[in-house]
Structure 1
Amino acid sequence: MTGFFDLPGWTAQLVRRALYLWVRTTVFPETPAELGLDPTKPVCYVLQDEHLSNQCVLFEESRRAGLPPAEKPLKIGDRTIAKHARFSLNRRHSPMASARERYAPPTLMRTLIHEMMVQPELDIQIVPVVILWGRSPDKQESILGALFSETWQQVGRLGRLLTVLLHGRNVLVRFNPPISLHGLATDKLDESLALRKLSRVLRVHFRRQREIAIGPDLSHRNTQIETLLTAASVQTAIANEATARGISPKEAQHRARRFALEIASDYSYGALRALEIFFSWLWSRLYDGIDIYHLDTVLRIAPSHSIVYVPAHRSHIDYLVLSYFLHKNGLTPPHIAAGANLNMALVGPLLRRCGAFFLRRTFKGEPLYAAVFNEYLHLMLTRGFPLEYFIEGGRSRSGRTLNPKAGILGMTIASFVREHHRPLVFVPVYLGYEKLLEGKTYLRELAGKPKEKESLWAVLSSARKIRKEYGKVHINFGEPLDLGHFLEACRPGWQGEKPGDWSRDATRQAAIALATRLNDGAVITPVNLLALVLLATPRHTADEQALLKMIAHYQAIAADARYADTTVLCTQTPAEIVAYNERLGIATRVTHPLGDLISLPNGTAPLLSYFRNNVLHLFALPALIACLISHNRHLGRQRIIEAVSGIYGLMRTELFLRWPSAELSGIINGIITVLTARSLLQCDDRDVLSPPEASRPESAELRMLGETLRPTLERHFLTLSLLQQSGPGMKTRQQLENDCHLLAQRLALLYTSDSPEYAEKSAFAILIAHLIDADLLREDESGLLHFDDALTTPLAQAELVLPAEARQAIWRMTSSA
């Protein structure tokens, strides 16, 4: 094969043209200028492996791209030093060849290094070229082809022929930025050291590029398991298990092996590619499209960092759609931590072969299982394979980001503290839907019915929904959290220390930081905006013109008082937003001679509250200010800042708001400026703020804006009132959560029947946990809650933002509880 291009030029051209009757490529970068080549300096291309097909592709694509042709002679000055401007790092050898022969540098690379040593003033640009067959990010292939797609294993000539036949229509070619040889000459290395350095640089480069595309070179599953079982921590756990259970070391070893088989994935690139083809078909029938934002964030850090993706958990679709689009964009699909409840017949093995590894909901009473799982997680992290898990633990039934769990996050941090040779970055991923496959199930669970158990039948029955219209899916990559830098801020000089209390504190802080960054990356969709407005109306119906104006208010607030740089705005016009919701069947139009009305179909309001809650945090402060002004008529600016600051602590934990208390004053003033510019507030010469005149439409619009936050504020008022009525030392945490949940259910039935999420028990649990963290509540040894007068401060501020009838209804219920 290596002598092929020594044949007459017309023969080589004929073979290449014949190959390109079949081959179709996708080339990166799209424009040659992006490589930054210096036209005055020689260019030499380097491939990883020596294959005839790769050489043909390199020659053709360098010519088509307008780059210096790889098939032309390589010249330095007037001298020709090679017939072609390319070489392959890995060349073919006899199976009996020694390691020294197999890894010997190519002849042309030796020549280039020699030339640079002789003439240090010269420079040669080495351009690594990655060619992957069956890995183009925007094309599909057959399921048979997927089973023979690009892997780490080298194949023979027959295998290469099959690869070309199966994947010739789907080839990714990536020209990478040039490596300058001038630096080797200036480093004052001798020729052999310079040769080894260049060889190492190229091998590391190709390995990283291939890792980005198809993932690290993981050994067979059985090899992984053997590695796990021989780890010191697992061997210690096996010995302890044998002693504790009174069994032989061999039996304990067998239990450890069984746990490892239960946990470990059985990653198969072929199975992943086959599943990708199925999902390409599925997504086109479920969704109008899938929009991705800030992917460049991941592309920038992927070559040099280990990545843990931390998505919002809204649906079972989450991990499928994220893995699919990472793969489609040339990135390695992550290993996904899946609950053991998904390890069901047929589905479990398929998920396992696509990278899922399984964990039990609790490790309690199984120290050996915990040791095996921890070691498996450490193995994945140290080998640089990207991971994905949900810090919320379970899917959100209300649309809000749930209180994060510290379990697997703490294990990740402990693993990194133990061994941190490569930087580790958490990437929050906001996943937004416009309709949910599980929507009706969530409503039943919020209404108090038990959670449905995942089963194979439930998965298969979802196929009935394929023909329905589910709008778009939005994937937004948020601000990454570099774990090394984060730990340094929490514990300066942490390197070399063992995990302990400090790492547990760091885990809790990291969990909150990641949940906050998830919320920062929210995507505002047409469905979110319609939900914000129509759910604030008494009958979930609005005059079309009034609706359009309210949508415009929300869009202006989102744009002019932007929540975070990673937040994605909705750029459609209000009229387009309404039309889009009508097309999805979310809104209906009622024709009327005095002007059309826009309404929610019967029974859809509870489902729509989910989408309001997705973005509630973005408008929480504007809505709080609207409540204050609407119910108090005249308030000085400083009084508003004091009232908002008094309530903010309660809201911040529940909604994972991003601002520290010290920044609130500036944020509040910015929001007041926007609301005043929209004529929703009036400000006199004394800096006293008031609502518009009652006869003006802006007065009703200000009340509607405040109505967005009313259910949240009522929950706060209900909890504080119940505590004050019962008195200190009278209720346990569990009793308070149950009482709040029951009273909220009653309020919802009497006044807000279309909002089952209003009484969600987890919302009260989060609020009570925050009161304890803020020392407003204290638990004694028997679990009873105590408080002092400090609790009355947020209670008094809460009264400022609720209408009198709501406060009276809550007081009556808490008094009789």
Structure 2
Amino acid sequence: MLKLPTWLTKDKPSDTHPAGTEHSRTPSPYRRASAKGLSLAVKPTLLGEVPVLDPAVPTFYVIRAYSRSNSLLVGMQTDELGLPSALAQVKAAGIHETSAMIFLKDRRADGATQSVPRLERLIAACLDNPELKVQLVPVTILWGRAPDKEESLFRLLMADEWESPSKIKQLFNIGVMGRDTFVRFSEPKDLQSLINDAKAGVGENLAATIAMRLMGYLDKQRTSIVGPDLSDKRNVAGAILSSPVVVDAIKNHANQTGKSIAAAKAEAQGYLGEITSNYSHSVVRFFDHFLTWLWTRLYDGVEVRHFERVRTLAPDYQIVYVPCHRSHIDYLLLSYVIYKRGLRIPHVAAGENLNIPILGDLLRSGGAFFMRRSFKGNALYSTVFKEYVHSLMQRQAPIEYFIEGGRSRSGRLLPPKLGMLAMTVNSYLRKPAKPVVFIPTYISYERIMEGATYVGELKGKPKESENLLGLLKTARKIERIFGTVHLAFGEPLYLTDFMAKFDVNAQSTDEQNTKNTHAMVQNLGVKIMQNINKAAVVSPVSLLALALLSAPNAALDETLCLEQIRLYQRIAQALPYDADTYVTDMTPRQIVDYGIKLKLIERRAHILGDMIRVADKQAPLLSYFRNNILHVFIIASFLAALVQRNGRIHRDRLDGITELLYPFLQAELFLKTALRNINHQVQQVLNLLIEQGVVVDLGDGVVGSAEGNSEAYQRLVVLASPAQQSLERYFMALTLLAKQGTNRLSSEQVVNLCYVVGQRISVLHADDLPDMFDKALFTSFLDTLVRVGYVSVDDKTGLLNFDNRIDRVAEFAKFVLHPDVMQLLSHTASLDHNEMVLAMESMDKKRKFGRAS
């Protein structure tokens, strides 16, 4: 138990101080009772040496922020250590103060700029009497110093740092952290010397200058104990609000809305508080401990590849991580991996849907900053957000944002959202600080918590906004086996290389430079997606999904299943998609056993040979993981589909069809091969398929399929299936356009109608896979039709115009699709007026009641 201060047990005047300076040692009854209660709960530890003070000089203790518990604690400690009492009255020449404490911040005071009255009075006394000496002792108090090692995650999370605690947290500090409280008394500062130094500052308020310097002493002391204050909420808000760009935006907002400048500035300040991160060392260490436990409990491991390329670039470049977005776990995973490998964790752009009670504060303290889904119609918010991003760039802070915008519900990469990318580029062009390098980052899982939700949303279920209860429900799944997480850092992309390629100049605002910058950002977005795909991991689960979902009824004879997996591995190894692409080294037998362990597939015993089939209700989820690697095998699948459909086909015909349809495959899957080089790749893949016995070389430039009942033919059918599904979607959209005619439908209507038609075809196919009606894929296909010139959009009406070339492209369906499928597509796409109106009304209702997330 802490020894009670002598002023709690003896009420007698001090005899340790000479005449002229009096420290009363008689606290009020209220202070006596409060201190006695505090001493029962708090056992402070002294850091450093006790300062040697001149007893003839009035002494005041400088404390960062006011709280009653801080007052009592310092009073306890000064008496315990034999120092002049902090709670005593101080009387000297020109000085008469009720206590010996100076609080530099006081939440009881009004206004953003607080005065320090006691400090002002002491300065005035010193100015009136240059012979007067006053010593100021900075005191650092840490209620529960943030520990380096701490078993309790809760205590670690609540450890004291830079932010002034609320009343509730301070009660927690006293009751729970009181015996881990630390106090440090720094060496005294002579107030007359501080005044003389501060007088050199022309035009500055003397008291404010000295208060700022005292705060600097305390900040240095705290930094040495808990590390630097990296909270943007406290450190950069003032600079952003006073920047010329934001000041102009505030004036414009005030003029447009009729608000006062003060009200507009308060609104901007509110936006800034909504956006900025609030980095906390203790929260980051909490995440370190918690996530280490979580990954061990949830996953078999986290496999990381190519991180050394990031470590090499970090000293000389500003790192911008641009990962794909599979799950909410991504936010935590990437920062965790970076932190554990000794690099500074990035500031992460998070959607405002995650800024919910408790979780939002935790993410913000871990480096997240929040952004709204749309800036439209709010120029002030847009300016404040962009200026915050610019401040990150100027401080050369690593940044992370998900280039797709939202999470992929299908497992494919989504088209890039260029907003954050454009802000990053424009900030660099405005005022370069450090060379910028983008790190495309591939993330994949073997099970995802949101899997069932994704499938439901793709099938038309309204999207639900995130809330803590929903996330807690998801967390209950941690007893299940989720396999291995794969994270790979892709080939870096240097901004200066793209600036040279597109002839973009920094700090130039001419029209041509603006056009070049816009084109550069678009190209950079596509290259990022392509490099994410280059770093793909062909995992055991994705191979299983690719093999089984391509088979009728999602089941294969075990021998054929093993052979099909082996074929995929040989294709990926003989003709690697990219040097960064990793293919699992598990044997086909090990892969099957692994899938059974994860309860994704099951083995069915049969007298004619065991069967491997997708486990009940797992097919839609497995389609997600198949789509993660579809780009690695799409050319092989596409050629297999053409050969299987036609029986025999000339190589020149294969080249022609590929040149026609490849741009759509490239846009959908962000394939890296340029169209000018695709014929060379086609011949390489075709020769490999012939070598593997899946395709037969019939001579004279003709290739064909094996005998219909052979194992080789069965393997060809399975290999062909994924590309056929993509091609069915293409020709569904083409048939719909051809049937409805030019200048009748808008882009949105075509996408929505394709969605409805795709749902119907999926039911008729009875495969229950959401790929056929993924709206993002139809949007990508339509955008590509516009880009390659087959379709144009009327500027006035927004309707799509096209000529008979659409019909000619649709004719190629006979080389790709089975006649039954072609008839089904044609029949289903022939919607009459009433059916179209019904479909549009259905989509409008979903938009009205569904919420994006």
TM-score by length of 1: 0.74
> How much has 1:140 moved relative to structure 2?
8.6
| 1:805 and 2:820 correspond | yes
1:649 aligns with 2:663: yes
Task: Give the structure 2 partner of residue 99 of structure 1.
Answer: none
Partner of 1:426: 438
1:368–1:816 Cα change, 3 Å? closer
Cα separation, 2, equivalents of 1:808 and 1:450: 32
In the aligned structure 2, how far is the partner of 1:776 from the partner of 1:614? 29
Instruction: In structure 1, list runs of 5 or more residues that go unmatched.
Output: 1-50, 52-132, 152-165, 167-213
* Matched-pair contact (CA < 8 Å) for 1:135–1:149: no
Answering whether residue 518 of structure 2 is matched by residue 504 of structure 1, we say yes
- In 1: Cα distance, 2:472 partner to 2:720 partner: 43
Given candidates 256, 266, 272, the residue that maps to 1:254 is 266
Matches of 2:757 and 2:508 in 1, distance apart?
Answer: 51
Contact 1:215/1:333 (CA < 8 Å) preserved in 2? no
The 8 Å contact of residues 433 and 474 in structure 1, kept in 2 or not, is answered as yes
- Give CA deviations for 1:343-381 in whole Å, capped at 9, x if unaligned: 111111111111010111111121111111000001011
Residues 417, 497 of structure 1: 8 Å contact kept:
no
Deviations 1:547-581 (A, max 9, x none): 00000000111111111121111111000000000
Pairing 1:139-538 to 2, within 5 Å after superposition: 143=153, 218=230, 221-493=233-505, 496-497=508-509, 500-538=514-552
Distance in 2 between residues matched to 1:464 and 1:145, nearest whole Å: 23
Q: C-alpha displacement at 1:502, in angstroms?
A: 2.5
1:588 touches 1:600 (CA, 8 Å); kept in 2?
Answer: yes
- In the alignment, what sits opposite 2:123? none
Deviations 1:64-106 (A, max 9, x none): xxxxxxxxxxxxxxxxxxxxxxxxxxxxxxxxxxxxxxxxxxx
Contact 1:215 1:385 in 2 (8 A): no
Shift of 1:791: 2.6
Residue 391 of structure 1 aligns to a residue whose secondary structure is coil
| Aligned mates of 2:545, 2:227 — CA distance in 1 | 41
Distance in 2 of aligned mates of 1:149 and 1:685: 78
Q: Deviation at 1:484?
A: 1.5
CA deviations on 1:34-60 (whole Å, 9 max, x unpaired) are: xxxxxxxxxxxxxxxxx9xxxxxxxxx
Q: Structure 2: which 5+ runs fail to align?
A: 1-47, 49-144, 163-179, 181-225, 833-853
Secondary structure of 2:538's partner? coil
Q: Which amino acid aligns with 1:526?
A: P
CA contact (8 A) 1:142 1:277 kept: no
1:619-677 residue CA offsets vs partner (Å, 9 max, x unmatched) = 11100100111111222222211111111011111111111111101111110121111
| Cα displacement string for residues 144-194 of structure 1 (whole angstroms, at most 9, x for unaligned residues) | 56888999xxxxxxxxxxxxxx9xxxxxxxxxxxxxxxxxxxxxxxxxxxx
Q: Secondary structure at the match of 1:361?
A: coil
| One-letter code aligned to 2:694 | L
Aligned residue identity for 1:617: H
- Given that 1:643 and 1:797 are in contact with CA atoms closer than 8 Å, whether structure 2 keeps it comes out as yes
How many angstroms does 1:440 deviate by?
0.8
Aligned partners of 2:555 and 2:592: how far apart in 1? 13
Report the Cα offset of residue 420 of structure 1: 1.5
- Is the 2:231–2:280 Cα contact (8 Å) retained in structure 1? no
Q: Which residue of 1 aligns with 2:585?
A: 571
Offset of 1:135 from its aligned partner?
A: 12
- Output the amino acid matched with 2:754: C
Whole-Å separation in 1 of the counterparts to 2:738 and 2:494: 43
How much has 1:231 moved relative to structure 2?
0.8
The letter of the residue matching 2:233 is R
Aligned residues: 626
> What is residue 692 of structure 1 aligned with on the other side?
706
1:609-648 alignment, distance < 5 Å: 609-648=623-662
Shift of 1:746: 0.6
Closer, same or farther in 2 for the Cα pair 1:792/1:565, shift >3 Å? farther
Structure 2 distance, partners of 1:305, 1:148, is 33
Alignment CA distance shift 1:306-1:692 (3 Å): same
SS at match of 1:539: helix
- Say if 2:230 and 2:278, in contact at 8 Å, map to a contact too: no
Instruction: Name 1:677's counterpart in structure 2.
Output: 691
Secondary structure at 1:473's aligned position in 2? strand
Distance (whole Å) between structure 2 residues aligned to residue 140 and residue 326 of structure 1 = 21
1:733 matched to 2:747? The reply is yes
2: CA distance between counterparts of 1:626 and 1:215? Answer: 60
Distance (Å, rounded) in 1 between the aligned partners of 2:659 and 2:236: 53
Cα distance change on mapping 1:419 and 1:215 into 2, 3 Å: farther
Note the C-alpha offset of 1:687: 2.2
Offset at residue 794 of structure 1 (A) = 3.3
1:580 pairs with one of 579, 591, 594:
594
Counterpart for residue 802 of structure 2: 787
Structure 1 partner of 2:775 = 761
CA distance in 2 between partners of 1:458 and 1:467 (Å):
17
Pair 1:543 & 2:557 matched: yes
How far did residue 216 of structure 1 move? 9.1
Q: CA RMSD in A?
A: 2.5
Structure 2 contact 667–784 (Cα < 8 Å) conserved:
yes
SS of equivalent residue, structure 2 residue 826 = helix
Q: Write out aligned runs for 1:55-134 (5 A).
A: none
Q: CA deviation at 1:753?
A: 3.5
How big is the shift at 1:141? 6.4
Q: Which residue of 2 aligns with 1:73?
A: none
Question: 1: distance between equivalents of 2:721 and 2:454?
Answer: 24
- In structure 2, C-alpha distance between the alignment counterparts of 1:347 and 1:788, rounded to whole Å: 53
* Structure 2: distance between partners of 1:643 and 1:430: 31
What residue in structure 1 maps to residue 215 of structure 2?
none
SS of 1:384's equivalent in the other structure is coil
Q: Deviations over 1:585-615 (max 9, x none)?
A: 0111111232111111221111111111111
- SS of 1:731's partner is coil
Q: 1:150 to 1:794 in 2, by over 3 A?
A: farther
More moved, 691-700 vs 256-265: 691-700
What code does the residue aligned with 1:663 have?
A: N
- The C-alpha deviation readout for 1:517-563, integer Å capped at 9, x for no partner, is 11121111111111111111111111110000000000111111111
1:703 and 2:717 correspond: yes
State whether residues 147 and 274 of structure 1, in contact with CA within 8 Å, keep that contact through their aligned partners in structure 2. Answer: no
Alpha-carbon distance between aligned partners in 2 of 1:690 and 1:766, rounded to the nearest angstrom: 32
Whole-Å separation in 2 of the counterparts to 1:718 and 1:707: 16
In 1, the alpha carbon distance for the partners of 2:146 and 2:464 equals 40
SS in 1 for 2:432: coil
Q: Are residue 555 (structure 1) and residue 569 (structure 2) matched? A: yes
User: CA separation in 2, counterparts of 1:517 and 1:803?
Assistant: 34
SS in 2 for 1:320: helix
- Whether the 8 Å CA contact 2:541–2:625 is kept in 1: the answer is yes
Deviations 1:225-276 (A, max 9, x none): 0010111100110111111111111111111111111111111122101111
- Work out the CA distance in 2 between the residues paired with 1:145 and 1:806: 61
Corresponding position: 1:664 with 2:678 = yes
Q: Flag the structure with larger Rg.
A: 2
Amino acid in the other structure paired with 1:296: E
Check conservation: 1:142, 1:274, Cα contact below 8 A: no
| Residue pair 1:779, 1:785 contacting (<8 A) in 2 also | yes
8 A Cα contact 1:312 1:429, kept in partner = yes
CA contact (8 A) 1:443 1:756 kept: yes
Structure 2 match to 1:774: 788
**How high is the TM-score relative to the length of structure 2?**
0.71
